[in-house]
Structure 1
Amino acid sequence: MTGAAAGTASRPLLGSAVAALALAALTALVASGSDLVSAFDARFRAGADRAFGASAGSWLGPDGPADAVGSALLGAGLLTALGVLLYRRRPGAALWVLVGLTVQFAAETALETLVGRPMPLPADGSAPDPGYSFPSGHAASATLILMVLLAVLRTGTRVWWSCLALGSALVAAVGVSRVLADAHHAADVAGGVLLGLVVGCAVAWRVGVRSPHLSGKETR
């Protein structure tokens, strides 16, 4: 591998390190009960309510379809990603996605226990679900999947840009659905995205460093 190719291949590791630092800073703010985090959560939720309707609406909250929609979108994204990787004859990359999701789940569980942030209070006044809310596993998984897909596609092509646009829309839609479902605060979603970047970029490096396009050959 040439020096230029080696530099390109190492970029995901740098991204993973930067995301880890940002995640550590956000985790400290959430764990300390920072007013900045509370204000961010409140503003985001108010904006989501204005855009999608009152928080007590029939399709919002923990029992509304918004909760199912987020999970369905994530499941569709995962199946699509695995299908694309298998179609491109990258079974190893598909396996690394599953490995990454396992590592992400372990890290998510550890952070939940470490921070101990309670679940959001539903707008209808009912009791919140048991468990902890920081970070969002749905947002983390969606981000991880996107990072791996981008790693196996040739950078700068129409397919790559389409994947970036659609994948980013998926991450945003999943994140908003979790807030509307009273499953997470907005900061939890941000933490999930950062966690997905930490693990996803590391997996992308492992997958991308073996990709033919890094040595100048076009992938199918």
Structure 2
Amino acid sequence: MKKIPLWPALLAAAELSAAGGVKPAAFLWCEAPPELARLFGSVGLKPEKAGPGNTDAPVQFMSGRFDHAANAKRYVDAVRAGKTVFVGFRDLAPVHRDMAEFLPVTPWSVKSHTLRRGGKKLVGFPGSGYEKLPPLAISNIADLHVPGAPIENSLMRYLTPGYLKPLNITDFRVLLTTDAGVPALISARVGAARVYVCGGDLFDPVLAKSPGYPALMRRLLKEAAAPLPQPKE
């Protein structure tokens, strides 16, 4: 495989301790909009810069391209360790097979801009708890295809084994769609981990200027800071 520069944007944030103390939220290779600092503080998280070796935080945001094995490994390691992981496709490219297996979407649709079906306004999916958000817009958004959806059932015969999913990917939730009805933000459990996938970039400048952005991020960060319920043995 051709070597590609490591350009993901990874945000790692620690959960609140049992005593309710504030924990650092470490930004790697990116800076979130300054206005997010207050939102992080509201759920007991403190944004800080960190070195590339910081991979132990229980909440991690990754946004970029994932055709490089090192990027895929960072995601897979976080999922296997039971973290809360946010994935955004800021740059469209084929997803590395090691990562594709453990994503709660079939990511062939994020390979190219030509696979997008349009729609740059985002709306909350009915029943998700996000349907009353103020207006949201984003500069670019890729389709997200949930395994088992009708569009996927008709295409499964074309997919490689790398797109097959283990049985421990469960609890799918569509949170946002485009105004064309295409899923744009989903969440699911992947084993002991909690994963959010955005078809674009949660730090996209157009999205960050949207009236609904503070409310969207406040809700997502509140979910991210909450302890993950673990399966009973």
TM-score range relative to shorter protein: under 0.3
Larger relative strand fraction: 2
TM-score by length of 2: 0.26
Larger relative helix fraction: 1
